[in-house]
Amino acid sequence: MTTVIHTAPVWLPQTQTWMYNQVRFLPADVACHVVCGRTENLGQFGVSSIHALREHSTPRYYWDKGLVKLGLRSHSGYLLERIRTLRADLVHSHFGQIAWRDMHACAKAGTGQVATFYGLDVNFLPQTDPRWRERYRELFASVDRVLCEGPHMAASVISLGCPEERVRVHHLGVALDDLPFKPRSWDGQGPFSVLLAGSFREKKGFPFALEALGRLQRRGEIEVTIIGDADQSAASQEEKRRILETIETSGLGKRVRLLGFQPHSVFLKEAYAHHLFLAPSVTANDGDTEGGAPVSVIEMAATGMPVIASRHCDIPGILEHGVTGLLAEERDVDGLLACLERLLDEPRIWPDMVTKARRHVEQEFDAVVQGQRLARIYQEIAP
C-alpha cells in the first residue's frame, strides 16, 4: 500500500473537477489523503480522508498562513505534521507554486514529492514575478517527478530548468461513465446552439468567440450559453467587462445566456442540449496560458459534441484539425468564423468527426486508466 498526500490550498473549487478525478480514480492500493487549508463544495467533491487546517483550528490556519507570508517559515507546519502522522510515502503537490512551498516540508520529513503543473504556474508566475524562476530551480533540484498535461507544457517546464528525466507527460483523465456518447447533428432547422465555459480570464479568449458568433448571425438564428464568471481580481473583472461589451457590440444581445459558475452536473446537462462547444484559448498579455489544455475540451469531445478551439498549448494533442475537431489560430476571428461556417455547410462530416474524437479520448484520457498510470508513477518513487 502506497500512502499519498495530495495538497491544495482549497478542496475544491467548482472549476477543478479534473483534480477530483485524479484522486478518486486511483486504484485501491493507493491510500489517498487530501491536506488543504480549507474546504468548499464537498457535496460535489467529497473524498474519504480530508485534513483541512481551517476546520482543525481556525486560529492556527491564519497563524500558519501568516508565518509563510511573512517569510518567517518556508513551509506549512500542518503539512509536515500530517506527513509524519500519516507516515506518507510521498506528497503530490498540485500547482508549481504549491509544490515549491511543499518541498520544504517534504525535505524535513524525508518523503518523496510529485508536482503537477497546470498553466498559470508555468507561464504567468515566472513572467510576472522573476523570483519564481529561482524558486522553481530550487524545486526542480529536489522534486522526484514533474507531471505535465502534454508535450507543450513539458517543454515549457524543461525550459524553466527542470531536468528532462524528471518530467512526465501525464494526461488529465475524464470520467467516461459520466459522459455518454450522444453524437450531435445539424439539420439546418431551428437555432444553432453554442456553449462556452470557463472562468472569465483573458486566456479563455471569449471575446474573439463572441465576435465570430456575432458575425455568424447572418447565416441564421443562433443561441449562445456561457457557463462561468469573474472572480474578485481586477483582471478578471476587466475581462468580464470586455465580454459583456462584446456581447452588445456584436449584436448578440438577448441571444446569450450567462449562467455564471455552475456545478459540473449543470455543465454536462447544458452540454447535451447544445450543438457545439467553442474554446478559443489565447496567450494573455501577462503571459497566462492554458499550459496544457482545458479539460472541458476533452469532456465535450467525449460526449459527441463537435469542438472548435484554437491552436494553443496542448489543445492540438486533443483535437486534430479536420479529423477530431476544428482549430483556428489564436485571436483569429476570421478563422473561428470559417470553422463555424464549415460545420454549418458540411453537416455530413459531423458523425465521423465526433466518433473519432470519442475514440481518441477513450484511448488517451480515460480517468480509470490514467489513475492506474499515476499509481505506477508513484511506485517509481515509493516502490
pLDDT at 383 over 70: no
The CATH number that domain 2-173+366-381 falls under is 3.40.50.2000
CATH topology of domain 176-364: Rossmann fold (3.40.50)
CB 2 within 8 A of CB 375: yes
Same fold, 2-173+366-381 and 176-364: yes
Q: What residues contact residue 382 under an 8 Å CB cut-off, 6+ apart?
A: 2, 89, 90, 112
Neighbours of 213 (CB within 10 A): 28
pLDDT at 172 over 70: yes
Convert the pLDDT of each residue in 16-75 to its tens digit: 999 999 999 999 999 999 999 999 999 999 898 999 988 877 887 777 777 777 665 656
Q: Minimal CA–CA distance to 282: which of 207, 357, 193? A: 207
**Which of 69-73, 249-253, 327-331 has the lowest average pLDDT?**
69-73
CB 120 within 8 A of CB 130: no
The mean pLDDT of 286-302, rounded to a whole number, is: 95
Rounded distance, CA 99 to CA 105, Å? 10
Neighbours of 271 (CB within 10 A): 23
Q: What is the pLDDT of residue 75?
A: 60
> Residue 176 is placed in which grid cell?
467516461
Q: What is the pLDDT of residue 29?
A: 95
Give the DSSP letter string of 151-211. Answer: HHHHHHHHHTT--GGGEEE-PPPB-GGGS--------S-S-EEEEEES-S-GGG-HHHHHH
Convert the pLDDT of each residue in 177-235 to its tens digit: 999 999 999 999 889 999 999 999 999 999 999 999 999 999 999 999 999 999 999 99
Q: What residues contact residue 271 under an 8 Å CB cut-off, 6+ apart?
A: 195, 277, 299, 300, 303, 305
DSSP single-letter state for residue 366: B
Q: Where are the domains of the chain?
A: 2-173+366-381, 176-364
pTM, full prediction: 0.92
- Across the chain, what does the average pLDDT equal? 94
